[in-house]
Structure 1
Amino acid sequence: MSHIVIIGAGECGARAAFALREKSFDGQITLVGAEEHLPYERPPLSKDALLHGHEPKFVSEAAHYTEAGIQVLTGVSVESIDTAGKSVGLSNGDKLTYDRLLLATGARPRPFPGLAGASDRIKTLRTHHDAVSIRAALQPGKHLAVIGGGFIGLELAATARKLGAQVTLVEGLARILTRGVPEPVAAIIAERHRAEGVEILCGTRIEGLTEGRDNASILLEDGRIITADMIVVGIGAVPNVELARDAGLAIDNGIAVDQHLRTSAPDIYAAGDCCSFPLAYYDGRRLRLEAWRNAHDQGNLAAVNLMGGEEAISAVPWFWSDQYDLTLQIAGMADGATQTVRRDMADGAFILFHLAADGRLLAASGIGTGNAVARDIRLAEMMIAAGVRPDPVALSTPGTKLKSLLAA
């Protein structure tokens, strides 16, 4: 009987396992995860899990894995891959042989330079355990300091304010959300955070961090010291490639895969946050995405190709972030755009459309309350996939139906 082993029990790995059964794979499936929990979703960790102290939002309940015939090994890590013998060595001393292997090892928080690791007062946010330990500092009378003005840092800041904590956010670059978010959109988010009482310090270099029994401090280059009950470092993520690298697989800003998610080793695939891949929409540029949608989509795609399919990556990158009552959504990648067109919508919502020199729509960035931009961002996503070259004037005109531009 054919055996598919999946290393990494997160959204991507779990989705691949269930998709294999949905596509009638009748062999053995083993899903291996280092955490004690069954696979759970990570986006709620900076929002609902902190607000309400919930248990993880599980991808599926234990009974569903049993019903699907998926063996889940939790609390066990993979220590080695033998590509010649087609086996993996586990931390408990066991060995699993495979016919095909999927690496869905994800990513881990990028550590603050010079800091050995997380501690009682200086933390990162990646796991449910992290969220539980951070929540203790999110209450009235407490002061949280966040390092990093990306999605994780800002979502955490919004959640902390909702729970009544004082928040100071430090970003070394000139503005928040420099990675992939246009300045006008980032400005709206920064303004909202400040209105909610978050102190945002941009363009500020950190000289060092110190930790005491009751607090931790950030020493800034200009001599200022920010003392808080807890510091959370959110300065990006590092793909977990060590296992693949030690097995001799090609690495290029992640585990390098082709358009079918195949690695450089026979019968080994990789998907999700841990891998970089070429995307045809952007002239074959190699991307690595840290996003729930990408993990979900590539889990489905991996299942097809693990069964012998030859389906290429085709999903358009899509990101979202909820902060207070604002929702930010981005479809595509704006890198290389030569023209940006703004489309104003009701209640202050707007979308920026980013066009290439040849007129192709490369990306769309929208912000508004609730689901104000969701439908048009979805249509923009479809336009990007279709290679549409929309009329900029029509894009900027609120009365123009984007669906008509897609049809044209």
Structure 2
Amino acid sequence: MADAGIVIVGAGQAGAAAATKLRQMKVDAPITVIGAEPDPPYERPPLSKDYLSGERSFDRLLIRPETFWANQDVAFKLGAPVTAVDAEAKTVTLEGGETVPYDTLIWATGGSPRKLACQGGDLPGVHTVRSRIDADRMKTELPTVKRAIVIGGGYIGLEAAAVLRKHGREVVLLEAAPRLLSRVAGEALSSFFAEEHARQGVDLRIETTADCIVGDAKAEGVHLADGSGIEGQMVVVGIGIIPDVAPLADAGAEVSNGVHVDAECRTNLPDVFAIGDCALHPNGFAGGEMIRLESVQNANDQAATVAKILAGRGGAYEAFPWFWSDQYDLKLQTAGLNLGYDEEVLRGDPDSRQFSVGYFREGRILAVDCVNDPQTYVAGRKLITDRVSPDLEKFADPNVPLKELLG
């Protein structure tokens, strides 16, 4: 019987990285990548940034040219969502009924955009920004849009708002929480981005909830919970993702907010790993808590962890977490995880548009958010990995080089 090899479900960042790392580590088993979308692996972060703005074409989003995959003997089945996993028979079933056997399964499906549960949430003109198809639909509609309504004040919503303003569209942004970025950043960074978006002409509505989307054949606006309404020709929804793990759950995998994996990215199903946005994993930079990380870094590093295991080199996932966001002429770089912080310290002046925020717990630095401040980002990473408890007054003083705080 032929070797079924390694099947990777998910043709995004994590799946592509897994296939690449396996070949780099001389794993010669057959590799098949199964993707729900029709496109080969491409970068998703630029979708809400320079792809939507038209500054990058799709071919420049491809993680690897298609010839690379052929040269590496990596097979693809695209436009083929997986509907079921049989952990005992070691097969996955595709939409349409085809069954694909595996010796090892790597689940790298990421997640689907969380949709509005209200009336009208599925009308044409209501968009998420998760796939090339999503972004292309928005680009097609933009010429007829005077005002766009963005629902969600996280990074996806803010990046979309910035691009829409760049296109000259009026933008109203709705955030249900008391401040922007409330799940991921402290008050200093939230306030800065709120002021920046307002300065750029975005109409921010904080602690505001959409009751329903108004329109017959197409979205024509949003009716708010307070009884008022906003007219608009496009609605962009950025309220998070739902991990795509239902087939694994049905097969008996432990699932809550993602599929549970151990330090080696193994699920509780035999020979089944999970990586990337869908993997709920123990993370040393979160105090060992089980978390999901929606980032390119996490996708790449978990892929490398699994590749090492399958190449016989072993090793647990211990990668350093980092993130970024581009809005207008601002580049935000984040190092570490600020979970459980009890103090935030501002370094520099936000009015200068170059500053950082440090997050501390019991004096030890956990994370830094750096706006147009790459030097603090680089030094901050070192402070975090060395588990330093720096003098907070010196940290706050931009005239004190952070390398002096390393001890």
Structure 2 counterparts to residues 226-241 of structure 1, below 5 A: 226-241=230-245
> Is the aligned partner of 1:288 residue 2:292?
yes
Say whether residues 1:356 and 2:358 are aligned partners. Answer: no
Question: Structure 1 residue 306: deviation in Å?
Answer: 3.1
Pairing partner for 1:262 from 259, 262, 266: 266
Task: Indicate which of 48, 54, 57 corresponds to 2:57.
Answer: 54
TM-score (norm 1): 0.93
**Pairwise CA distance, 1:252:** 2.6
- What's the CA shift for 1:404? 4.0
* Residue from 28, 33, 36 that aligns with 1:34: 36
Q: What residue ranges of structure 1 are gaps of 5+ in the alignment?
A: none
Shift of the alpha carbon at 1:298? 1.6
Counterpart of 2:347 in structure 1 is 343
Map 1:34-183 onto structure 2 (within 5 A): 34-52=36-54, 54-55=57-58, 57-115=61-119, 118-139=122-143, 142-183=146-187
Taking the aligned partners of 1:365 and 1:351, their CA distance within structure 2 comes to 5
Cα-Cα RMSD: 1.9
Residue 138 of structure 1 and its aligned partner are, at CA, apart by 3.1
> 1:376 Cα deviation (Å)?
2.0
Counterpart in the other structure of 1:248? 252
> Deviations along 1:243-291, whole A, 9 cap, x unmatched?
1101100013100001111111111100000111111233211111112
312-321 vs 385-394, which moves further: 385-394
Matched residue of 2:118: which SS? Answer: coil
| Counterpart contact for 2:51–2:57, Cα < 8 Å | yes
Q: Partners in 1 of 2:212 and 2:296 — Cα distance?
A: 32
Q: 1:323 to 1:249 in 2, by over 3 A?
A: same
Deviations 1:141-192 (A, max 9, x none): 6211111111111111110111111111111111111111111112111111
The farther-off stretch of 147-156 and 300-309 is 300-309
Residue 52 of structure 2 contacts residue 139 of structure 2 at CA under 8 Å; is this kept in 1? yes
Q: Is the 8 A contact 2:53 2:167 kept in 1?
A: yes
Give distance in 2, aligned partners of 1:315 and 1:404: 25
Whole-angstrom CA distance in 1 between matches of 2:253 and 2:225 = 41
Give the structure 2 partner of residue 381 of structure 1: 381
Q: CA offsets per residue over residues 10-61 of structure 1, 9 Å max, x none? A: 0110011000011111111111001110011111111111111722511111
For residues 201 and 322 of structure 2, what CA distance do their matches in structure 1 show? 29
Is residue 118–residue 124 contact of structure 1 (8 Å, CA) maintained in 2? no
* Distance in structure 2 (CA, Å) of the matches to 1:39 and 1:214: 31
Identity of aligned residues (%): 37
Number of residues of Structure 1 aligned to a counterpart in Structure 2: 402
Q: Structure 2: which 5+ residue stretches go unaligned?
A: none
C-alpha change, 1:3 and 1:206, in structure 2 (3 Å) is: same
| Misfit runs of 4+, over 4 Å | none
Instruction: Give how far 1:203 is off.
Output: 0.8
Structure 1 position 378, deviation (Å)? 2.8
Matched, 1:321 2:325: yes
Take 1:206 and 1:91, find their aligned partners in 2: how far apart are those partners? 34
Q: Write the mapping of 1:1-16 to structure 2, written as runs, cut at 5 A.
A: 1=3, 3-16=5-18
Aligned-pair CA distance for 1:139: 4.4
